[in-house]
Amino acid sequence: MSHDPILSLDQLHVSFLKRDFLGRISDTLHAVKDVSFEIESHQTFGLVGESGSGKSTIGKAILRLLKPERGKIIFDGEDLQSFGLFTPLSYRKQVQAVFQDPYSSLNPSHTVANIIGEPLTRHLGLSGKARQQRVIELLERVGLSAYHGGRYPIEFSGGQRQRIAIARALAVEPRLIICDEAVSALDVSTQAQVINLLESLQRDLAVSYLFISHDLAVVRHISHTIGVMYLGNMVELGSAERVYERPLHPYTEMLLASVPLANPIEQQKRRMARQQLRRVETNARKHVERGCPFAPRCPYVMQVCLEQMPAPLAVEGGGMVRCHLHSANGAELTSPLESRIPVPKKD
Ligand code: SF4
């Protein structure tokens, strides 16, 4: 793995203030706590976790839609805090986004050619024939044609709309694209087509992706590195291969248990393991404030888990895990959990 990060997060914290009906601050929700990771140039970092895990909040902080409470976001060597209140056009050009619902992010009253052409004019100053030619190139690059440029978003399927959203993101030749649940609303075969398209664009254009999804199987297919989020904490980080085949954290194991397997015997084993993992230690809930946030759901919970938040432990070969199961002598690549859940091989 090269060590040439396009983006680094260093101990990022993002919080939301809750207010009562008089506008007074009644509570603070810590949406992202002490999260650090790097996205290597020309690679894909997969950020996975359930709803409310903080993964989309991280995407919004990188897009400067949210202000971090603390910590740093460094893009291409530049600390985003140095931008002050306004985000420079050059940063907006280099960091683009593709969201889950392409229909709501595409202006329904504009033709596809106008939707893709608008950033070409704003960021690159293209107009007339040059802009028209570039729009056609982009449509063809995402598997559509010049004919589609004169049509409106409502005339396309979900997969085609996502291709249009990708073409618009690509228009300004970004270096990083944040794909936030970008394939979650698509059926399985369309998901595969869009992921294949993203992979081929990465090969040809050397773009990097932050790929955010709740689905570990999807993340595994496209990512070089995976970070697993739980209640605002990054609980595991490592190469996609290691995380998928030898998960170290019980929550990662639980996410893997929800990935269906083709082999019915293996699937049955997994179903049984999943039932075991779903045992909820309700007594542990009251301790979650000071202990491991996963303790209420963890089948391996120990007394120490209820009292101390596990510190991040470096994993041999790269990455980290936050779990007391691994804290005796540092994390090992052989997980004590790995034999419990059968894991499908990557195609
Ligand atoms: Fe489970 Fe304890 Fe590890 Fe948390 S620290 S995931 S409760 S074993």
What string of DSSP letters covers 289-316? TTS-TTGGG-TT--HHHHH-PPPPEEBT
According to the model, what pLDDT value does residue 290 have? Answer: 80
- How many Å apart are CA 61 and CA 81, to the nearest integer? 11
CA-closest residue to ligand 1 atom 3: 323
Amino acid at 53: S
pTM of the model: 0.86
Point out the ligand 1 atom lying closest to the alpha carbon of residue 326: 3
Q: How far is the CA of 227 from the centre of ligand 1 (A)?
A: 17
Q: How far is the CA of 294 from the centre of ligand 1 (A)?
A: 6
Q: How far is the CA of 155 from the centre of ligand 1 (A)?
A: 49
Q: Token pair for residue 229?
A: 């989020």
Closest by Cα among 191, 185, 216 to 99: 185
According to the model, what pLDDT value does residue 156 have? Answer: 93
- How many Å apart are CA 93 and CA 71, to the nearest integer? 23
- How many Å apart are CA 237 and CA 182, to the nearest integer? 21
Mutating to test ligand 1, I would choose from 231, 280, 301 the residue with most ligand atoms within 8 A of its C-beta, which is 301
Establish whether residue 33 lines the binding site of ligand 1, counting it when its CB lies within 6 angstroms of any ligand atom: no
Q: Token pair for residue 134?
A: 């570039």
Q: Token pair for residue 156?
A: 């396309």
- How many Å apart are CA 249 and CA 325, to the nearest integer? 8
Establish whether residue 302 lines the binding site of ligand 1, counting it when its CB lies within 6 angstroms of any ligand atom: yes
Establish whether residue 325 lines the binding site of ligand 1, counting it when its CB lies within 6 angstroms of any ligand atom: yes
Domains with residue ranges and CATH for the chain? 5-103+174-242 (3.40.50.300), 246-321 (no CATH)
According to the model, what pLDDT value does residue 327 have? Answer: 77
- How many Å apart are CA 227 and CA 275, to the nearest integer? 25
Point out the ligand 1 atom lying closest to the alpha carbon of residue 299: 1
Q: How many CB atoms lie within 10 A of CB 300?
A: 16
Q: How many CB atoms lie within 10 A of CB 145?
A: 9
The label of the residue with tokens 């595409």 reads: 106
* CA 320 to chain centroid: 17
DSSP of 67-89, one letter per residue?
Answer: --SEEEEEETTEEGGGGTTS--H
Point out the ligand 1 atom lying closest to the alpha carbon of residue 292: 4
Point out the ligand 1 atom lying closest to the alpha carbon of residue 301: 7
Return per-residue pLDDT of the chain as tens, 347 residues: 456 799 999 999 999 988 888 888 888 889 999 999 999 999 999 999 998 899 999 999 999 999 999 999 999 999 999 998 889 999 999 999 999 877 777 899 999 999 999 999 999 999 999 999 999 999 999 999 999 999 999 999 999 999 999 999 999 999 999 999 999 888 888 899 999 999 999 999 999 999 999 999 899 999 999 999 999 999 999 999 999 999 999 999 989 887 766 666 766 766 666 565 554 444 444 445 689 999 988 989 999 999 999 999 999 889 999 999 997 544 443 344 444 333 444 44
Cβ atoms of 326 and 248 within 8 Å: the answer is yes
According to the model, what pLDDT value does residue 23 have? Answer: 82
β-bridge partners, 46: 211, 226
Establish whether residue 310 lines the binding site of ligand 1, counting it when its CB lies within 6 angstroms of any ligand atom: yes
Write the CA distances from 54 to 5, 81, 227, integer angstroms: 22, 20, 12
Establish whether residue 292 lines the binding site of ligand 1, counting it when its CB lies within 6 angstroms of any ligand atom: yes
Establish whether residue 305 lines the binding site of ligand 1, counting it when its CB lies within 6 angstroms of any ligand atom: yes
- How many Å apart are CA 103 and CA 36, to the nearest integer? 32
Q: How far is the CA of 295 from the centre of ligand 1 (A)?
A: 6
For the stretch 212-253, pLDDT in tens is 999 998 999 999 999 999 999 999 999 999 999 999 999 999
Point out the ligand 1 atom lying closest to the alpha carbon of residue 300: 8
Q: How far is the CA of 287 from the centre of ligand 1 (A)?
A: 12
Q: Give the burial string for 37-51 (b: 16+ CB within 10 Å, else e).
A: bbbbbbbbbbbbbee
Closest by Cα among 312, 292, 302 to 251: 292
DSSP of 187-217, one letter per residue?
Answer: -HHHHHHHHHHHHHHHHHH--EEEEEES-HH
According to the model, what pLDDT value does residue 105 have? Answer: 79
CA-closest residue to ligand 1 atom 7: 295
Write the CA distances from 24 to 19, 68, 279, integer angstroms: 5, 21, 38
Amino acid at 165: A
Establish whether residue 287 lines the binding site of ligand 1, counting it when its CB lies within 6 angstroms of any ligand atom: no
The label of the residue with tokens 């329904």 reads: 108
Mutating to test ligand 1, I would choose from 277, 281, 294 the residue with most ligand atoms within 8 A of its C-beta, which is 294
Q: How far is the CA of 44 from the centre of ligand 1 (A)?
A: 28
Point out the ligand 1 atom lying closest to the alpha carbon of residue 293: 4
